Amino acid sequence: MSSEQTSKESLCPGCQAEEPLVLPCGHRLCQSCLQLCQRELGEDGAQPGCTVCYGRELLDSVLKGLLDSLFQGQPRRAGAGAEGGADGHGEGEEKADLCPEHAECLSLFCTEDEELICEECRRDIHLDHECCPTTEAAQDCRRELRSALRPLQQKLETLNSAKRACQETADHIRRQAQHSVRLIKEDFEKLHQFLRDEETAVLLALKEEEEQKSQKMKDKMERLVRDIASLQDIINTTEETMSSDDLMFLKNYKKTSESTECTVQDPKEVSESLIDVAKHVGCLKYRVWEKMQTVVQFSPVTFDPNTADVSLTVSDDLTSVRYTDEEQQIPDNPERFCYYDCVLGSEGFNSGQHDWEVEVGDSNDWALGVAKETVSRKEWFPPSPDRGMWTICLHGGEYRACTSTSSPLRLKKKPQRVRVQLDWDRGRLTFSDASDNTLLYKFKHKFTERMYPYFSSTCKRQPLQILPGKVSIYVE
C-alpha cells in the first residue's frame, strides 16, 4: 500500500481530521463528525451512524424512486436489484410491501378496485372508495373465495362421479362383449356341430346307396360272366364236333345237339339301378334347415338385460328372468328401471298384431303386460295406463288388473301359462290362459307410442319363462 493511500485512510472523510475512529461498518470518522451524525441521523448511540452509509442508502432510495416512476406498470425480472442472503430474500422483499407511488406501507385494501393501497393513495385516488384494513379484507376475500369454491368443488365431485360411472360402464361394456362373444361362439359351435353331423349323415346315406347299388351291379356282372363262359364252351364244343369226320360227328351229334338246347336267359334291365341324386342333393339346404327347427327354437320376445332392475337376473338366451336378493353391480344407465323389479322386451311394437306366452308356473308374485317407450324408469308410481303401463298381476295371493281402480280379477283356476296379445292398430291388449284360451282381462286404448313387452317378478323360487313360438312355412 502506498504512503499516499495510507495518509488518506488516516484522515476523517468529513472534516479531514487526523486519527479518525474506525466504525463497525469499516468506515472512519472523527469524534466530532460522529457526534454530528448521531444528532442529524437520530441515532440513539447504540449503533454509531456513518455519513458514508447514510449517503449510499439515501442515493439508493432516490434511484429506486426514479426507477419505479420510470418503469411503473412494466414487468420486472424476479430478483432484479434485490440484495440479501444466498436465498434471495432480504431488503428487496421487504420493500415489495411498500406503495410503489408513495413508498408507504400498503395497509389498506380498496374493495372497489380490489387492490392494495396506502394511506396516501386513499387520500389521493381512492377518497370516495370503500376501503378496509388488509387483515379484515383478507378475511372477507377468503370468505368469498370459499363460497366461490363450494360450487366448483361440488361440480368437481359431480365430474369425478361421472368419470367413475363412465369407467364402470366401460368395464361393464367389456364384460358384456366378452360374455356375448362366448355365447355367440357356443351357439355357432352348436350349429356347426349340427351341420357337421348332418353332413356326415347325408354322406353316409349316399355311400350306403352307392355300395348297395354297386354290389347289385357286381352280382349281375358275375352272372353275365358265368353265362358268357358257359355259352362260349357250348359254342366251342359244337364247332369241334362239326369239324370232325362224318362218322365221329354223327356219333356225337345227339349229345352235341342236346347241349345246344341249354339256352341262357337274356339279362334283365334293373330299374332304379342308379344313385338317386335328387334324394341326396335336391333342396339339401332347405331340408337341413327344416330339420334344424327340431334343435333351434324361435322366441317371439326376448328380454333386454339393459332395462332389467339390479335384482333381476336374465338367462344367457334372454328368455328367462329370475328374482334374487343380491343386487348386481351393473351401470345405472338411462334405460334401466330402478324402483320396479321388472325388465322390458328387446323389441318394441308400433303397429301390427303380436302375441307371446309366458310360463308363470307357481310364481306367487308377477306382473305382465306392455309399457310405452317413454315410461318413467327412475321413480316409483302405481302402475296404470295413465302412467304408461298396461299390466295384470298376481300380488298377495290376488289377481288384479293394474288400473286406477286396481280391479280384482275373478279367475276359476290359477293359470300356469299366460298369453299376451297386442293389437296395436285396434288398440287392444288381451290376457288369456294359454291352456284353454280363457279370457283373463282386456285393455282398450288408442296407442300412440312404441310399446314394449313388460315383465315383473319378485318370486325367487319360480322364474318367468317366455315360451318358444311355433314356426309355420308358407310356400307361394
CB 130 within 8 A of CB 112: yes
**If you ran DSSP here, which 8-state letter would residue 260 be given?**
H
Q: Residue 137, exposed/middle/buried by CB under 10 A (0-12, 13-18, 19+)?
A: middle
pTM exceeds 0.85: no
Q: Is the pLDDT confidence value at 204 over 50?
A: yes
Q: Is the pLDDT confidence value at 400 over 70?
A: yes
Q: Is the pLDDT confidence value at 331 over 70?
A: yes
Q: Does residue 253 or residue 182 have the better pLDDT?
A: 182
CA distance linking residue 319 with residue 122, whole number of Å? 81
pLDDT digits (tens, 9 = 90+) for 275-308: 999 999 999 998 998 888 888 888 999 999 999 9
Class of domain 312-467: mainly beta
Residue 442's φ and ψ, nearest 5 degrees, are -140, 130
Residue 121 corresponds to which amino acid? C
Beta bridge partner(s), residue 390: 370
- Residue 115: the pLDDT is 87
Question: Over pLDDT 90: what percentage of the chain?
Answer: 46
- Residue 96: the pLDDT is 59
CA distance linking residue 403 with residue 419, whole number of Å? 19
Q: Which helix (H) or strand (E) covers residue 218, if one does? A: helix 134-243
- Residue 335: the pLDDT is 93
- Residue 159: the pLDDT is 93
- Residue 2: the pLDDT is 46
CB 43 within 8 A of CB 49: yes
CA distance linking residue 403 with residue 381, whole number of Å? 12
431 Cβ partners below 8 Å, 6+ apart?
A: 368, 369, 392, 418, 419, 420, 421, 439, 440, 441, 442
Average pLDDT, the chain: 83
CA distance linking residue 313 with residue 191, whole number of Å? 26
- Answer yes or no: CATH 3.30.40 is held by domain 9-55: yes
pLDDT digits (tens, 9 = 90+) for 47-77: 455 666 666 665 666 566 656 655 555 544 4
pLDDT digits (tens, 9 = 90+) for 447-466: 999 999 999 999 998 999 99
Q: Is the pLDDT confidence value at 93 over 60?
A: no
Average pLDDT over residues 154-162: 92
Query: Which of 166-175, 220-229, 259-268 has the weakest average pLDDT?
Result: 259-268
Q: Is the pLDDT confidence value at 149 over 80?
A: yes
Q: Is the pLDDT confidence value at 392 over 70?
A: yes
- Residue 75: the pLDDT is 47
CA distance linking residue 419 with residue 392, whole number of Å? 12
- Residue 94: the pLDDT is 45
Beta bridge partner(s), residue 218: none
- Residue 92: the pLDDT is 44
Q: For 260-298, give one letter per residue: b (16+ CB within 10 A) or e.
A: eeeeeeeeeeeeeeeeeeeeeeeeeeeeeeeeeeeeeee
CB 469 within 8 A of CB 462: no
- Residue 282: the pLDDT is 92
**If you ran DSSP here, which 8-state letter would residue 11 be given?**
B
Helices (H), 21-90: 31-41, 51-70
Q: Residue 387, exposed/middle/buried by CB under 10 A (0-12, 13-18, 19+)?
A: middle
Nine-digit cell at 230?
358257359
**If you ran DSSP here, which 8-state letter would residue 269 be given?**
P
Nine-digit cell at 193?
356341430
- Residue 86: the pLDDT is 39
- Residue 84: the pLDDT is 42
Average pLDDT over residues 356-374: 95
- Residue 85: the pLDDT is 42
CB 23 within 8 A of CB 29: yes
